[in-house]
Amino acid sequence: MFGVLTYILILAALILGALRKPPIAVAAVLCLFGLKQWGQDTSAFLATHGQLTNFVVGSVTLVAVIQSAVRGRREARRISGVEWLVLALYLYALVSVSWAPDWSQSLEQWTKQGPYIITVLLLAPVLLTDFDAARSALTWTALTGGYICAVALLLGHWGSRGLLIYGDATESETNPLALASLAGTAFIVSALSLSRANSMRMRLTALCCIPLSLAVILRSGSRGQLLAAGAGLLIAAPIAFRPKGARAAFNIVIAGILIVALGVWASTLVAVDAERWSKGESEEQVGGRVSNAAKLLSATASDPATAVFGLGNSASFEVIGFYPHITVVEVLAEEGVPGIVLYLSALVLTCANIWRMRFMLRERDVQTNTLAMLAGLFVFEFVLSCKQGSLLSSVYVFAYAITLARMSTAGSLRAASGPPAIAIGGAPRPRFSNLLR
């Protein structure tokens, strides 16, 4: 009963928060799979109606987008290059279904992933209009995700790796990778919240969230999530902590020691399957995925037309029986040269946006810290897409890419980095004084 009540309270808090401040709906999107699995573990109704959480979160996000449009200023905004590239990639992938080996099976995959594409890729980034909106969404994500990790660890009914589905006689488990992905997201945001740009209360909260999220990753045996979280933090930490000077270097060293210490402590809180983390099993699974990827690429290269234009989206289900788990390989094989050019161009342009904003925001600690979180989460999701992703399921990668592109627009950067106006005699002073006057 307590578990169901907790689910209701978490969902209600996200709904009310989104109605009050639309960007908080993004936190509901990022916590979707973790909250859904917690509900399936604690309620027979939620176990048999697994799509209910999806429907509620999608509806809340749509309402938040409408509400944000009504409240916001009606001004034209130029669509970024990343957005055009991502849109073109997904449109081309949809068109390529027409020449896939089994187009009905390919359309079935689009039907399954369609709601996530709409909610995560098209709606959620619209709510992150500036750095303040992104910061609110990420703070709520860390707090909500950390709380879900806590109740899952303390009150969840665990199977071998995932949470047990309530009332299932066969003791089926929820997808451990989905819950671990939420934990990885909460970990990155929390770890980067240790920088000086955050309040002491937020830093203390982060110290609680870090071991909880790492414990969930370890308990679920999600090696990829641990590696991806480390990669995301490694890339984002220099942005957030800016190691220039002795004091900054000292701060980043202290933060690193704290994170490692909390990680070691987290490993003592849960039962860790040593065999799961062994080198032999890891190499065997990596080898299997590389082998399947090679089979898919071989099928693509067998015909000149498919070598250029690809086999067609989701053709891997016909060729090797399932998706190859490596998104970049899948895009090359199924969408061919046009697809891989669009895919890589979007990634390169996103990296360029991060690099440019890092220097333009160097005097603004809070905005720089938010940039670091978005960059770390982008890297986190990209690494995951290289071990468990497909184009249709890698929506979080492109959602962060689009968000970063929105943050890099001239208007957002001026608002974040421009000096504040100073009131003189009741009238605002212009940011750039007229020197000829």
| Burial of residue 203, with CB atoms counted within 10 A of its CB: 0-12 exposed, 13-18 middle, 19 or more buried | middle
Q: Would you say residue 257 has pLDDT above 70?
A: yes
**How far apart (Å, rounded) are the C-alpha atoms in residues 152 and 81?**
40
Average confidence (pLDDT) over 56-63: 95
Q: Would you say residue 422 has pLDDT above 60?
A: no
Q: Which amino acid is at 47?
A: A
CB 188 within 8 A of CB 229: yes
Average confidence (pLDDT) over 69-87: 77
- Tell me the three-class secondary structure of 11-59, residue by residue: HHHHHHHHHHCHHHHHHHHHCHHHHHHHHHHHCHHHHHCCHHHHHHHHH
Which residue in 287, 298, 343, 340 sits closest to 320, CA to CA? 298
At 186 the pLDDT is 96
Q: Which residue has the higher pLDDT, 169 or 108?
A: 108
Lowest mean pLDDT of 39-53, 73-87, 112-126, 307-321, name the range: 73-87
Tokens of 61: 């996000």
Which residue in 184, 280, 178 sits closest to 233, CA to CA? 184
Q: Would you say residue 223 has pLDDT above 60?
A: yes
At 77 the pLDDT is 63
Provide the whole-model pTM: 0.89
**How far apart (Å, rounded) are the C-alpha atoms in residues 287 and 309?**
27
Which residue in 26, 22, 25, 142 sits closest to 402, CA to CA? 26
Percent of the chain at pLDDT above 90? 55
- The greatest distance separating any two alpha carbons of the chain, rounded to the nearest whole angstrom, comes to 81
Q: Would you say residue 196 has pLDDT above 60?
A: yes
Instruction: Give residue 387's pLDDT band: very low, low, confident or very high (50, 70, 90).
Output: confident
Average confidence (pLDDT) over 219-227: 90
At 362 the pLDDT is 75
At 435 the pLDDT is 40
State whether the Cα torsion 435-415-382-87 is positive or negative.
negative
Instruction: Give residue 21's pLDDT band: very low, low, confident or very high (50, 70, 90).
Output: very high
